[in-house]
Structure formats: structure tokens, C-alpha cells
Amino acid sequence: MPSNKSVSDAPIVQFTNCRILRDHQLQREDLWVREGKILNPEKLFFDEKGSADVQLDCKDSIIAPGFIDVQINGGFGVDFSLATDDFKSGIDLVSQKILSHGVTSFCPTLVTSPPSVYHQVLPQINVRNGGAHGAGILGAHLEGPFISKEKKGAHPEHCLRTFEAGAFQDLLATYGSLDCVQIVTLAPEMRRSSEVIQELTKRGICVSLGHSVANLSQAEEAVQHGATFITHLFNAMLPFHHRDPGIVGLLTSDKIPAGRRVFYGMISDGIHTNPAALRIAHRAHPKGLVLVTDAIAGMGLAPGRHTLGQQVVEIDGLNTYIAGTKTLSGSVATMDTCVRHFQEATGCSVETALEVASLHPAQLLGIEHKKGTLNYDSDADFLMLNDSLYVQATYIAGEEVWRQDVSGM
């Protein structure tokens, strides 16, 4: 006979007086958490005859899944594309600091670098769960060096590479290892890119198209071979043209394999993408939009000179340029700022604004069964926000890891 006793002695926390983002709607119900997972209260009551050990009054806050940033180059003085002796403490600092901006998981991103940098840095990036120490690490995003010279953006030209005869072996030799790699951005018009895309996809690595002069048919071919993402749409690619819309045309392409969704990153900082372009993309393909910060080491620091990999960049307000040029080089926007700007620019619902930074990146990476939603049995990584979408508290695995200090307000 099954016992009526609770299946676990771990404490059960009940978050009350809140609106939970679940099934694309804000729903007025309680959130139940035990052992880092979200509980189904019906099972708890009827199967286990259990009840809450702790009740927390959320004071009418919104509870939403934690944000997932799949493209962040650094921040707070730390540059992920620099091979330093204290790289680990740098990544720890960033993962701690982004908690206050609602990011509970991220992909540290390396821009085009010499092979020696990949060989030194990648072994130091370990996939790990988040917690009080900081946001979880989902794996590295390698943006380059297999990208177009014409659309290199802020990437150093002398480090760019093409695929040689043994294309995938060439990529492996460049990176040294793919053990901790989650996303690779490449230009699909490069010779032999198809075999590389297939090999990466076979290994469960997400292939993103970017820094590219590909036409639409080259982009469609890349998707047919397994590519599923577009790196910062509109930036570092051919501009939309009505006779050949290029990579942008993937948003409404009828050549996408059945059952496949193409996702696309957007930097919603008010600088990289005009609000009208944000609206066009969102209305054309709302289910594919993924907000990314593309943040650089200067995020969270005062204006001035900072680094992005091998280059020096200048920060002027929210603009970041390669020193001495007007070439944009990443952003200094935080994820919560991007979410608020996105909602303001598109006029979308609160639910949509929150999902493009949580559910959609989780779907892109195929981890939506545990991250990016507040479904039962999902990881209890969530945020408390006010109605203006300012983060009030961040929780990872059901534990509070950051809270807004209101004492000085």
C-alpha cells in the first residue's frame, strides 16, 4: 500500500499572492517548490497529503522564468575572449553580477580569436548549475572565426579562417575541444560549411548563421543541414533586399524542414536595431525571437576604453565602437533593460516580453523541459518582477540568490 507520507522530507515552499507566467499567460495562482523543482500542488495534496513548510507573500509580484542569455561576451571588466590566469574568477564574477539583471543561465561567448585563446579558455569553461555563486553556465558560444571578411563587424580580420580540405578537423584543431560548446556561429556561404554544420548538429551543438554575406538559398541550405539560429539578426549580414532577402528571409521562408523552427537573436538595446526593425522581425516570426545582450566587458562600467577580445573598444553612452571607428562592437545593455525596451518598442504583452528572454532561448537549446518555463518538474529558476518588469528578486533552484535592496529607497 502506498503511504500517505510525503515522498520527501525536504521543505516545501509556497509562494503566494503572485501572478505566474505559465502556458503563455499570467495566472493568479501559487507556486510550490521543493528540492529545486516546481511542484504540482494537486499531486502534493492528493497523493502525498503534503503541505507547505514555508509560505512567502510575493506582494502581487509577477513570477516568471529566469532569463537565459545565449550571447554574452563578458561584462563588469571581464572579457571572455581574453586568456588570463584568473579566467575562472572572471567568469565567476560575471555569473554573480548578472543575477541582479534576472539572468539565471548563460552561454559565455568568445568572439573571433587566435587558436591559442580557444585552447586556453575553453577548458576553463565548465557547464554547471546556477546557485548562490551565480548564474548557471550552459556551455560556450563560439562566434567565429569561420565568418565573412566583409561582415566581420568587430571581429579581428587577421584571425578569420576558412574551412580547408578536412573542414571539420580544421574546426576541431582551431577550437581544440568541443566538450563545453553549446553554439557555433559561422557564415554558411563558406565552402564546405554544409559538412561542418551536419557534424556539429550531430554532436548536439546549435549552429547559428551570422557575420555573413549569404543569400537566402545558401541560408536555407544551411537550415536544411541542421542550422537553427541566426546571430543578432540584421547586424553583420546583408541588408534585406526584396529580390534576395538574404539570411533575414529565413523568418518567412517556406523551405524550412517540417517541424523545425528557426530562431533568431536580437539585441534590443535601442542602438543595434531600430524599433521599427524589431517590430518587423517580431511580427514576421514571433515564435523565433530570442533576446540576447551581446554584452561586452564594458557592461556595468563607466564610459571609456575597454576590450573585446583582440580589439580595443570605446564606450560612449550606450554606444560601443571599435576604437577610432564607428563600427559597433557588442553592447553594454543588461538583459532586463533589453526586455523592457523590447516591450516598449513592440507594444507586445508582458508575457511575450518575458518569454523571448526565457522560453525561446530554452527552446533553441532544447532544454525547455527543465528551463525557461514554470511547468511542473521544471527547475525552479525564476524571477519576481514588478509590473514595469524591473527585477525584484532572483531565485535559482528555489533559493533566493539576489534581492533588490529597498532600504535606501
**Residue 154 assigned to a binding site:** yes
DSSP label at 331?
A: B
232 is in an annotated binding site: yes
Q: Which three cell numbers stand for residue 250?
A: 529565413
Q: Hey, which residues does 274 pair with through a beta bridge?
A: none
Cα gap 276→266, rounded to integer Å: 13
Contacts of 75 (CB under 8 A, 6+ apart): 94, 97, 98, 295, 296, 297, 298, 299, 300
Residue of 294, 336, 379, 381 with catalytic role: 294
Burial class (CB in 10 A: 0-12, 13-18, 19+), 99: buried
Is 24 among the annotated ligand-binding positions? no
* 119 appears as a binding residue in the annotation: no
Cell digits for 177?
Answer: 575541444
CA 311-313-318 angle, to 5 degrees, is 150
Question: Is 329 within any annotated ligand binding site?
Answer: yes
294 a catalytic residue: yes
**Who's near 123: CB < 8 A, 6+ residues apart?**
176, 177
Q: Is 187 annotated as a binding residue?
A: no
143 annotated ligand-binding residue: yes
Set of cell numbers at residue 164: 580547408
Residue with the three cell numbers 572572471? 90
104: β partners? none
Q: Rounded CA gap, 109 and 82, in Å?
A: 11
17 is in an annotated binding site: no
Contacts of 315 (CB under 8 A, 6+ apart): 298, 301, 302, 303, 304, 305, 306, 332
Q: State the chain's maximal CA–CA distance in angstroms.
A: 75
**Do 21 and 62 touch, CB atoms closer than 8 A?**
yes
Q: Which of 78, 115, 110 is nearest to 94 (CA)?
A: 78
Cell numbers given for 139: 556551455
Q: What is the rounded distance in angstroms from the CA atom of residue 221 to the CA atom of residue 206?
A: 16
Residue 73 annotated as part of some ligand binding site: no
Residue 360 annotated as part of some ligand binding site: no
HEC per residue, 148-159: CCCCCCCCCHHH
Burial environment of residue 212 by CB neighbours within 10 A (0 to 12, 13 to 18, 19 or more): buried
- The answer to the question of whether 235 is labelled as a binding residue is yes
Which residues are annotated as part of the binding site for substrate?
154, 235-236, 243, 272, 328-330
Active site residues: 294
Which residues are annotated as part of the binding site?
143, 154, 211, 232, 235-236, 243, 272, 328-330
Which residues are annotated as part of the binding site for Zn(2+)?
143, 211, 232
